[in-house]
A and B are shown apart, each in its own frame.
Chain A
């Protein structure tokens, strides 16, 4: 299609220029953003000083956050106003909103298609949002209380957990159909993919496990159970998880057990536990993978972990019921 190519070439240049101009002053601020469910704000922390530099008002009940590719915008799902707030990262203010279904919780962005996939906790559906037109182009029915959303690297598939259905739905991104379901443990919450794209790790909060899904077969391949010393099985409620870029190490928050588990990914063996705050849920990892930030939902603070020594170094008070952490680096 030569005509299309001709048209798209100048468009690319415009886009590149735009990216450059904003990149000059917005990129890599290094700032840490914490969403707080009950105080309707993002607390912005300077990681060099561990001081709060901004209290950013959002729509009500901010939860999941994602940057766009060049980190000029931060998208924040706000559950009680049924919107995703768009934050200008350079100005640190809300500059726009996208409408979602009922009570958006987590989401994934596919920038190549200009789409956002957001789970609607109350609506039992996944909304597909056109980012440019600000309209919901499709509503995919899911099991009750959908939560974790993961968009495959090629954008063809979207994985969604249903907390009540104990299911992972595999959704065809084009048709919006659920093409397959897989049953996992009780109350599946969030995803992390291994960098080789082969495995998808899913936390199952109430059964206290992480399930490992073989993405090619879409079957459960294994699971990991956690038990920090001195804790009871019933305290272990894993929620968020991250896998390092080299695919070697995974970090899993254990909720009421107040620890982060460190897992050796290839062997799936637990290497240790790091003590954090009460009801640890959201995780954020710095790009250099040296620092981990843990949102403690019942401690109203964020624990900073030095990953070299695997020790918590400091806790920073934030808003009420901190939910998640993202870092602009």
Chain B
């Protein structure tokens, strides 16, 4: 079952042809019709003055005709509409709250839809400049398997070319197959799996959310920059935990850190398994270490690690110091304003990594329209996949890597109440773009979309 909702349409609905003609120049998208009339009157006044003002005459392209002699309304090109699909899965377990007990919620989680909405809101002002409205179409399906058919249907029947895909990794293989060679660009906003970048390697997909490899590289750069190079690893039982440790091990090799021991833990209190479930015993290894890295997707055991290790050492990875795409305490590069817009839009939620990705995905579509002055899909796609830089409010401009379509970006090292660093860390250099010290650089991956 597929549900369609229209959200966040920018500007007004139908307007009279004469209104449209005028509104191209002077109406603000948020003005109701009555105030448009008021502004028309004000405009008439301003224009009378403008007739004596060469600057305004020039900018309006008016050869000083008497007021009222406007071009026929048919001269106004029709307003363009660009819909962006937002595909999500109802009951996606990734957005279930994390609880300690039924009534003790540790983390509430939600779909990044409000992130996309603030991107649409920001584009409202461009209606005036581009004569183009942007809208989100929220498409909710029941399972990852339904994502591909829903996208195909929206592409074929509704002419939507851009989609934000808020789905786990398993949805992407059939999706990429269905979209192959078609006029579609699919923005992955919430699946961090490295396999999607390395093995699936699909031309129609842009990975806006940072890959696991990028996040682990960012964390390792930070540790290396502090000279905390000896690392004790606690690895959980889930497949995701093994994946995380694999990525972290790779990063450690890359940046000269050393994993001194990899301890498998098991959550519980069974005294017979204390060697595996007690952080003090797990951390009582022979030799020293600088930090404890914990991979615990379930976010259960990891809570017990800080302050329970034998040596007084910081805990990183799954708690206390986490590499993220976005954090609500980031206060540079215009971030406070974005956080505040998000807070309002979402009803008080704090903006997180997937929200950032959804926001940036919409921004890319809007920028492509603005900079190419076109609603022509191939032109917009080529702009996004080209060497354009986008403002992600994280300092260095974000852009799409041509080899695997991962969005290169800074990764924030977030403590609970402070972003303690932003990777790439100072001193980690790259021959072309320092952001490519995070994740798979061109020679490090088999994905070659640019060849």
Contact = CB atoms under 8 A, between A and B. Distances in A.
Interface in A138-182: 141-145, 156, 162-167, 170, 172, 174-181
Interface stretch (A15-23, A40-48, A212-220, A288-296): A212-220
Given A156-B49, A234-B397, A165 B122 contact: yes
Interface in B116-144: 121-122, 125-126, 128-129
Interface in B17-31: 25-26, 28, 30-31
A229 to B, nearest CB: 17
Interface of A: 103, 121-122, 141-145, 156, 162-167, 170, 172, 174-181, 183, 186-187, 206-207, 215-219, 232, 234, 256
Contacts of A170: 59
Contacts of B26: 177-179
A207 B371 CA distance: 13
Q: A-B pairs with the 6 shortest C-beta distances?
A: A175-B42, A143-B125, A218-B59, A172-B46, A144-B122, A216-B55
B337 A122 contact: yes
B54 interface: yes
A103 B434 CA distance: 34
B122 A143 contact: yes
Interface in B21-69: 25-26, 28, 30-31, 39, 42-43, 45-46, 49, 53-56, 58-60
Interface residues of B, number: 38
Most buried by A among B25, B58, B125, B367: B125
A141 B30 contact: yes
A177 B46 contact: yes
Contact of A180 (B25, B28, B370): B25
Contacts of A219: 59
B370 to A, nearest CB: 6
A22 B39 CA distance: 42
Interface string B152-174: 00000000000000000000000
B293 to A, nearest CB: 30
A156 B389 contact: no
Contacts of A180: 25, 59-60
B54 A144 contact: no
Main secondary structure of the interface of A (DSSP, over half): loop
Contact of A234 (B25, B49, B54, B433): B433
A177 B125 contact: no
Nearest to B397: A206
B370 A175 contact: no
Given A165-B126, A167-B129, A179-B26, A207 B389 contact: yes
A104 to B, nearest CB: 13
Given A145-B334, A232-B434, 18 more contacts: A103-B337, A141-B30, A141-B125, A167-B125, A170-B59, A174-B45, A175-B43, A179-B56, A186-B389, A186-B397, A187-B334, A206-B391, A206-B397, A207-B397, A217-B58, A218-B55, A234-B433, A256-B395
Contacts of A164: 122, 334, 391
Given A141-B30, A206-B397, A178 B42 contact: no
Name the residue among A156, A172, A176 with the largest chain B CB count within 10 angstroms: A172
B329 interface: no
B340 interface: yes
A175 B44 CA distance: 10
B435 to A, nearest CB: 8
Contact of A217 (B30, B59, B389): B59
Contacts of B45: 174-175
